[in-house]
Chains A and B, each alone.
Chain A
Amino acid sequence: MIDASRYLFLACAVAGRRVAVHVSSGSETLASSDGQAILLPSTVLQDDAGDEQRTWKQVVAQAALIGAGSLQLQLLRRLVGRPDAARRYACLEVLRASRLLAARMPTAFLDLPELRHEHAPPQNAADSLSWALSRRPVPESPAYFGTVRPLMALRKAISEEGWSALTQQQARGEFQHKQPQRQFDDDDATEESALLRLFQNPFAAGNAMAELLNKILGAGTSKGGREKKAGEGAGAELPVGSIERALRRGVHAVLARLPFEVPDIDARGESAGLRYPEWDIHQKKYRPDWAMVEEVEAWRPEGARDLGEVLKPAGHELKRQLGSLGLDHQMHRRQQDGAELDVGRLLDAAIDLATGHSPPSLDVYRASRRTRRDLAIVVGLDISGSTGERSGAGVSVFDRQLQLAYRLGRTLNDLGDTVAMFGFHSWGRNLVRSVRLKGPEERWSACVAERFAQLEPVGYTRTGAAIRHGARMLRTDMRLPNRLLILITDGIAYDQDYETAYAQGDARKALEEARAAGTACVCICVGGSSDADQLRAVFGAANLLIVDEPQQVTTSIRRVCRQALGAVSQRRLQSSTARASR
């Protein structure tokens, strides 16, 4: 049995950024990727040791495609419904990528016979595409090159938009959550109307479904038109209608699956995620290893946003407020007064006196003062679709949350605390994503702002998993005595099979676990929340801060954090006293 997680570093190194590696549970025989995760065919699981060779080659080939920028949506669109062309494209791109990234690819891969071609590979991905769509011969593609699955990548983009539309509707309380009794079929004639009914909502800004269809099918039509006009490549030989049909069918198949299943790759099988339990309030017991969190790098297919206006550093006031948090005692040398003598300094003073100098001051003591920064902080940022909602002023809750997270992280880091930050969103329990914004060991740099600019509000919120993940980071990666988890959310704990009482019960349980382990937890809600009561019930009024604008946290953040930290240390004190008296 092959454990895909062991290829994680290999994949990340070749791709040049964080990617996940999964084994599919489907029937496909070729590896592929959606730009954030590499999906290996399930056949690798049955392979005996001799074929293990093939697994790493597949990982390297797919990672190279990611590293060389082969999975651009606008290019992949033209490969929808053309599996042969997709394979030709993948082959050409693997050849191109292995030249481009040769400096960091394994020699064993570059030495493979299939990689040794005298012909010059295409110059860029667009060249590969027109080559793949033309009748020009393409070198033979071995199975380990895998393929590109345009729909998998597109589906991700589409479905994220779709989900984001849904969560926005839910945020307004307009979505009736009903599990459909029947599954839609690819060729089902009624699917459109059924789906449309689901999406059609007089209050929704525009029509989510219509917008989606326009976007996707509109693109298909115009693409076809352009192809016809240009009259180049194999695309021109196909009737436009059939392209559209293929596209439409694929897209509908995807849309039909949209709200009710995990829209992304199947994350079952061996994978590199972390599993956390979840508390089932109805059964009054834990569901072990229930939610799977995978850590990914922030990545936006359309490129980074311009966040110059959003990510401004905070003023001095916030620094002043946060300055006194989590201080601990530290021994200081060369003090004017103190509990013990500083022997080295005392000798220096004696020498000064002996040589006829008078020491400027008798700083010959050692003293313990409360100066040591001893606080580890994890900021968890809700990046679910519901935060994309805009307020009256035209600034989205999402941007305000980004601003707050950035300011808090930056200020605490400047004060010398150990800070880690992550964004979280999810699509069901098997696909909770933790997007790394700043690692605990990492120095603050422009990279942090760049990652913020790659975030996009999509998906749902699985608060319990986010709390457990943040608490785990504090407990295992940072190991400082004072630990604080700051959750920035818009308050809607909502995910597939994760709602109302169940979600609240689980989040409350996750907080209890964290506090029992000595981690203080604080929740900040920007832009108000329709779920204030729910949040208060979960976090407790004392640990909750609801503000309209990021600047407003300045006045009360110290009080809230202090209280939370104080409650935890009180608890620690009590438990140690209880242990001692036993």
Chain B
Amino acid sequence: MVRSTAYIASGKEREIFAAASRNGLPVLLKGPTGCGKTRFVQAMAEALGRPLITVACHEDLTAGDLVGRFLLRGGETVWEDGPLTRAVRDGAICYLDEVVEARADTTVVIHPLADHRRELNVERLGVKLIAPPEFMLVMSYNPGYQSVLKDLKPSTRQRMVSIELRFPSPEIEERILVQETGIDIDNARRLVRLGQAIRQLQHEGLPEAASTRTLVSTALLIKDGVAPQDAAEAAITGPLTDDPVAAKQLLEMMRIYIA
């Protein structure tokens, strides 16, 4: 099943993103996991009619992985563009997901691209690529997730226009569930109330809250014929906690919210 890419905005994020894109400004998306960051970028790429190149950053991701490298093929060396170089050449949106995870040396290539210069220095090839106006750099970052040691450098942050996404308000979240999954409004409301309630729990057993993503998954399962209670257990409790005591109390909560 292919889900629609229509995106329901919670605030002014769409307008800000579009304006940033018109003016060649890079965007930093902040927000908890599962609140719709990736979804938003997809929807905007579609709305602006640009290709989207996504890079999931990890702690071994180096500048070379972004820009490109020579590969050994037989006795020859062959150059292969990295995703960032491809995005610059094609005038695409390059989305660096969880950018703080990447190694510090990536800032060397990101900085000149992210300010007025908009240039990518491909050192190995000895060329400087000037990004076309269509090219856009988008990064995401989950402030609650990383430790203090892994934080974005102020010099990187300053180059960005930041858009803070939060979990949507109850009314909007209900609409999202209905639109994404086709679930009826009563069930959507129940799920959203449960989500809102779980977000109040700052218990140690629950490092993350029930996200919009988990609520959508639950709704999809319900829509497919799974009993609401089982769907919530599978899509919310399971991913949220391994602690048996916390799980038991969550289940009790769900029973009351979903019954």
Contacts and interface: CB of A to CB of B under 8 A. Distances in A.
Interface of A: 5-10, 12-18, 56, 60, 103-109, 333, 347-348, 350-351, 354-355, 357, 413-414, 416, 436, 439-444, 477
Which 5 pairs between the two chains have the least Cβ-Cβ distance?
A: A13-B197, A9-B249, A104-B196, A439-B204, A441-B207
A66 to B, nearest CB: 12
Contact of A443 (B64, B70, B144, B186): B144
B72 A347 contact: yes
Contact of A12 (B70, B192, B201, B248): B201
B69 A440 contact: no
B132 interface: no
A348 B69 contact: yes
A74 to B, nearest CB: 26
B203 A12 contact: yes
A481 to B, nearest CB: 18
B257 interface: yes
B197 A107 contact: no
A413 B72 CA distance: 44
Contacts of B197: 10, 13-14, 104-106
Nearest to A57: B256
Contacts of A103: 170, 192-193, 196
A517 to B, nearest CB: 20
Instruction: Output the residue of B146, B193, B207, B250 with the most chain A CB within 10 A.
Output: B193
Interface in B190-233: 190, 192-193, 196-204, 207
B237 to A, nearest CB: 11
A13 B193 CA distance: 10
A354 B203 contact: no
Given A7-B252, A439-B202, A104 B193 contact: yes
Contacts of B124: 355, 357
Contact of A351 (B72, B170, B189, B190): B72
B75 to A, nearest CB: 8
Instruction: Output the residue of B148, B186, B256 with the most chain A CB within 10 A.
Output: B256
Nearest to B247: A9
Contacts of B70: 351, 354-355
A413 B148 contact: yes
Given A107-B190, A439-B204, A441-B207, A350 B72 contact: yes
Instruction: Output the residue of B189, B201, B250 with the most chain A CB within 10 A.
Output: B201
B259 to A, nearest CB: 6
A17 B199 CA distance: 11
Contact of B148 (A350, A351, A441, A444): A444
B155 interface: no
A98 to B, nearest CB: 12
A107 B202 contact: no
B189 A107 contact: yes
A358 to B, nearest CB: 13
A416 B150 CA distance: 10
Contacts of B60: 333
Instruction: Output the residue of A9, A12, A348 with the most chain B CB within 10 A.
Output: A9
Interface string B59-81: 01000100001111000010000
Interface of B: 60, 64, 69-72, 77, 124, 144-149, 170, 186, 189-190, 192-193, 196-204, 207, 246, 248-250, 252-253, 256-257, 259
A442 B201 CA distance: 13
Contacts of B170: 103
A388 B145 CA distance: 37
Given A17-B200, A443-B146, 13 more contacts: A8-B249, A9-B203, A9-B252, A12-B200, A13-B200, A14-B197, A15-B200, A103-B196, A104-B199, A355-B124, A357-B124, A439-B202, A443-B148
Given A103-B170, A108-B257, A16 B200 contact: yes
11 contacts: A6-B252, A7-B252, A9-B203, A9-B253, A16-B200, A104-B193, A107-B190, A109-B256, A439-B204, A443-B147, A477-B204
A6 B259 CA distance: 16
A436 B204 CA distance: 10
Contacts of A414: 148
Contacts of A477: 204
A7 B248 CA distance: 10
Nearest to A105: B193
A351 B71 contact: yes
A351 B69 contact: yes
A394 to B, nearest CB: 34
A107 B193 contact: yes
A107 B257 contact: yes
Given A16-B200, A108-B259, A441-B207, A6 B148 contact: no
Nearest to B204: A439
A13 B147 CA distance: 26
B252 A10 contact: yes
Nearest to B144: A443
A7 B201 CA distance: 13
A104 B192 CA distance: 8
A348 B77 CA distance: 11
A13 B253 contact: yes
Nearest to A436: B204
Given A103-B170, A104-B197, A440-B204, A354 B72 contact: yes
Contact of B77 (A17, A351, A442): A351
Given A104-B197, A348-B69, A441 B64 contact: no
Contacts of B199: 104
Contact of B246 (A9, A17, A350): A9
Contacts of B207: 441-442
Given A108-B257, A351-B70, A354-B72, A6 B248 contact: yes
Nearest to A67: B200
A106 B257 contact: yes
A443 B142 CA distance: 12
Instruction: Output the residue of A104, A355, A414 with the most chain B CB within 10 A.
Output: A104
B59 to A, nearest CB: 10
A246 B64 CA distance: 79
Contacts of B204: 436, 439-442, 477
